[in-house]
Amino acid sequence: MAVNQRVNIFDVANQAGVAPSTVSRVLNGSSKVSDSTRARVQLAIELLDFRPSRIASGLSKGRVANVAIIAPYLTRPSVVARVDGALEVFDKRGYQTVLYSAGTPAQASEYVERLMDRHESLGVLVISLPLTEPQLLGFRKSGVELSLVDSYASGVVNVHIDNVRGGWLAADHLIKVGHRRIGIVGDIDNNFHKFRSSQERIYGFTKRLLEEGISLDSSLIRIGKHSPIEGRRMAEELLVRKAPPTALFATSDTHAIGILAALEGLGLSAPDDCAVVGFDDLEVARLLDLSTVRQPLVTSGTVGAERLCDLLEGKSPEPKGLKLDLELVARASTMGKVGVVLGSK
């Protein structure tokens, strides 16, 4: 005689004196169950501490309430903020979420391949990762739903920001505060080279400069790995030049705090010696009084997750592409003592 057998609906049915199907009905909240039997069944469930097997249920229904998140570099604050937002939503809406953190594009593709299977998860939330056409096609024919966060593909549900406008806002702010000789510190991602955000921000930045008739000195641009230390190194290079910039734009707060460290290391300070604008508005930005272009990170995760859930429940979110707002947060690193939240869109 087997020990510790799992309690199943049959046991519950026996205990309650009904048929297994009836138990199943109360489990799934069917309306066609009399209140009295429902009560009896629920009692039996309590009594036996019965927990339905989600995998048996899944096999029977042909679907498990599972979703997956696939993201690069989980440790980056911006990524984890989005993931955290999404996790909360998925949990609230009854989905179990499997997380994949990809360190390389190869690994990302591997995960993507794996997820193109109805029995893995019903839908996947893709964060900050470009999908190839074949991959998109694969999802379409597999029936696994897709929701993109900080990424774009036509015809696919997605939330993103206007990186070009973000860069534009940063430049606009620096120009208004009087700067004309401005340097840029951006990322290059050697692994996921399709990470275009940084480049788009730089594009928008220079666009605003040109509007003002300011020509960009390309020798004032530095591109490096996404880390504060690298940011510091690049900033130092720029700051020790004979004609250093009066302001620096970093395409991420991560680089920006490196810039602030560089200034401090050189005995300089923002904004007097060099103004600094970052991008993201991470928590540290507020601490360091760093002016920055704020993007709604957590919100992007929650919205992306909500829309995936909607998709899974048959509603089709419209419009497919959602553009989240940006706003420039002016703090001491450009304004000195007084910090204010300037205009937005």
Partner DNA sequence: TTGTATGCGTTATCAT
Partner DNA sequence: ATGATAACGCATACAA
Contacts with a second copy by CB under 8 A lie at 4, 6, 51, 53-56, 58-59, 64, 74-75, 77, 80-81, 83-84, 87-88, 91, 96-101, 103, 117-120, 141, 143, 227-229, 232, 257-258, 261, 264, 283-284, 286-288
Our CB check for DNA shows the closer of 18 and 182 to be 18
- Shortest separation between residue 31's beta carbon and DNA, angstroms: 6
- Shortest separation between residue 52's beta carbon and DNA, angstroms: 4
Indicate which of DNA, a second copy, none lies near residue 74 (CB less than 5 to 8 Å, by partner kind): a second copy
Indicate which of DNA, a second copy, none lies near residue 286 (CB less than 5 to 8 Å, by partner kind): a second copy
Task: Give yes or no for a contact between 50 and 40, defined as CB atoms under 8 angstroms apart.
Answer: no
Angle of helix 9-16 relative to helix 35-48, nearest 10 degrees?
A: 120
Rounded to 5 degrees, φ, ψ at 176 are -65, -30
- In whole angstroms, give the CA distance from residue 145 to residue 304: 12
The strand ranges marked E within the chain are 66-72, 96-102, 123-127, 145-149, 158-161, 182-187, 221-224, 247-250, 275-280, 291-294, 321-324, 327-330, 340-344
Residues in the chain: 345
- Shortest separation between residue 128's beta carbon and a second copy, angstroms: 15
Q: For residue 65, give the H/E element and its range.
A: none
Task: Give yes or no for a contact between 53 and 62, defined as CB atoms under 8 angstroms apart.
Answer: no
List residues bridging with 146 in a β-sheet. 124
- Shortest separation between residue 15's beta carbon and DNA, angstroms: 12
Our CB check for DNA shows the closer of 61 and 286 to be 61
Measured CA to CA in angstroms, residue 288 lies from 88, 176, 257, 269 at distances of: 29, 22, 8, 12
Beta-carbon contacts of residue 161 (< 8 Å; ≥ 6 apart): 150, 295, 300, 323, 324, 325, 326
- Shortest separation between residue 145's beta carbon and a second copy, angstroms: 15
Indicate which of a second copy, DNA, none lies near residue 75 (CB less than 5 to 8 Å, by partner kind): a second copy
- Shortest separation between residue 101's beta carbon and a second copy, angstroms: 5
- In whole angstroms, give the CA distance from residue 139 to residue 94: 22
Indicate which of a second copy, DNA, none lies near residue 177 (CB less than 5 to 8 Å, by partner kind): none
Our CB check for a second copy shows the closer of 171 and 275 to be 275
- Shortest separation between residue 276's beta carbon and DNA, angstroms: 55
Beta-carbon contacts of residue 243 (< 8 Å; ≥ 6 apart): 181
- Shortest separation between residue 118's beta carbon and DNA, angstroms: 8
Decide the pairing of beta strands 327-330 and 291-294: antiparallel
**Positions that interact with DNA (CB under 7 A):** 5-6, 8-10, 17-25, 27-28, 31-34, 36-38, 50-53, 56-57, 59-62
Indicate which of a second copy, DNA, none lies near residue 232 (CB less than 5 to 8 Å, by partner kind): a second copy
Task: Give yes or no for a contact between 276 and 244, defined as CB atoms under 8 angstroms apart.
Answer: no
Our CB check for a second copy shows the closer of 117 and 212 to be 117
Indicate which of DNA, a second copy, none lies near residue 299 (CB less than 5 to 8 Å, by partner kind): none
Indicate which of a second copy, DNA, none lies near residue 224 (CB less than 5 to 8 Å, by partner kind): none
Indicate which of DNA, a second copy, none lies near residue 261 (CB less than 5 to 8 Å, by partner kind): a second copy
